[in-house]
Amino acid sequence: MRSIVLAITTVLTVSFATAVLTVGVATPVYAAAKANSVKQKMAAMKAKDPRSYGECLTLATQRGFARDPESNSDAMKFVDGCMAGKQR
């Protein structure tokens, strides 16, 4: 009985430690990939209509997306909606 409890405790400890250590390593890689995809989408919108993009990016900055709006996914959604005429 003691050996079963010890084995279960060991498995749970190793699983928890692996999950904690993996989060610290995997998060920056995922965040970098996400930031790159946001920047690529923003560049595509800018290439499609530079004038509207500039106006919508300015509006996004005025509405509170001041911290690097070109790599913020929420700002990208705002600019996309603005270019589609959904923001005033």
Residue whose token pair is 């929420």: 74
| Interaxial angle between packed helices 73-83 and 50-62, expressed in degrees from 0 to 180 and rounded to the nearest 10 | 130
Domain tally, the chain: 1
Residue 88 lies in a domain: no
**Regarding predicted confidence, which is higher, 36 or 50?**
50
CB 42 within 8 A of CB 56: no
Give the pLDDT score at 13. Answer: 81
Q: Residue 68 domain-assigned? A: yes
Tell me, rounded to whole angstroms, the distance of Cα 79 from its chain centroid.
16
Of the pLDDT bands very low, low, confident and very high (cuts 50, 70, 90), residue 46 is confident
Phi and psi, residue 66, nearest 5°: -80, -25
For 32, the token pair is 């970098």
Neighbouring C-beta atoms of residue 42, cutoff 10 Å: 21
Whether 25 is in a domain gets the answer yes
**Structural domain for 73, as ranges:** 2-83
